[in-house]
Structure 1
Amino acid sequence: MDPAQRTAFEAYLARVQAQRAELREAVAAVDEALARPLGTARWRERVHTALVELEHDLRDHVELTEGEDGLFETVLAEDTRLSPAVEQQRHEHDELGQRVAGSLATLEAVVPPEALPAFREELTTLVGDLVRHRQRVNDLIYEAFSVDLGGQG
């Protein structure tokens, strides 16, 4: 990269890192909401609020990474051998987005009390899958550019 491209790329990575921090906070908010006493109106309200924010932040993450001149295009321009990893991330984006939307729809349909433990377990698994997704994106960025976004992003 020439110096101007490098400067633009560094600014873009700063945006990616800031957005990743927002996504991390949204995932943490879901996790914290799930830890509250199960089944209370407050539990449902907090989980719903956290899921809405997560859905928004995940959508922003997908737009930033998959959009025109986004991270994935830049990764592929740098190293085409990373194409399978990029495609895996795109697949995960689709799957994670569907799971978040499905969880919101389930919660909005009013989960019966007897189904709440299983629903909470599904959401807990989703939280773990989102954390692992963020780790894999960081690994991809590091492999392509030798840049560590760190645990904050």
Structure 2
Amino acid sequence: MGGTRPFVDAISLQVARRHRAALLREIQMFEHAIASPSAEPGWRERFSTRLRTLRGAFAEHIVVTEGEDGLYAELLEHAPRLHNQVRKLIREHAAVAVSMAALQRRADLAGTRVAELRSCGEEILRALSRHRQRGADLVYDAYETDIGGET
């Protein structure tokens, strides 16, 4: 290949972009749930529902990226030098999923303080933001392709 970047499967990137955009929408909806006034009736239920939906979108993200035919498998086929970065993202998947499950358990307990839910939720949002940026950087490093900086 001598100095040129490997060919990227356009279909895999389309799938990744679509799932990335869907995950971003769920992140934004969860962020909105966190920021809404906690004195509003049903705040805790909305928070819990948005978190549950975000967890589902994140689980789908894991399948799309880590699956046998997922983005990471394709990426490593074309750019094996990025193995360590891919492993780091996979570890982040596990850590974020565990954090979300723990927060879901707390959100579903009536006695958990709103401040604690917000704090933990904001921590998850920061982790997701860092993870999304590292994922975008990884794809760019592999293919010199931006997978989307949705606005």
TM above 0.5, yes or no, is yes
Partner Cα distance (1:8, 1:149) in 2: 12
| Equivalent residues in 2 for 1:1-153, closer than 5 Å | 9-38=9-38, 40-112=40-112, 115-152=113-150
Q: Which runs of 4+ in 1 moved over 6 A?
A: none
Shift of residue 38, structure 1, vs aligned partner: 2.1
Q: TM-score, normalised by structure 1?
A: 0.88
Q: Which has the higher helix share?
A: 1
Whether the aligned pair in 2 keeps the contact of 1:39 and 1:116 (CA below 8 Å) is no
Percentage of matched positions with identical amino acids: 30
TM (norm. structure 2) is: 0.89
| CA deviation after TM superposition for structure 1 residue 39, in Å | 5.3
> For 2:22 and 2:107, how far apart are their aligned partners in 1?
23
Counterparts of 2:96 and 2:36, CA distance in 1: 23
Report the residue type matching 1:37 in the other structure: P
Q: 1:31 is paired with a residue of what secondary structure? A: helix
Unaligned runs of 5+ in 2: none
Query: Aligned to 2:9, what secondary structure does the other structure show?
Result: helix
For structure 1, list consecutive stretches of 5 or more residues without a partner in the other structure: none
CA root-mean-square deviation:
2.0
Aligned residue pairs total 147
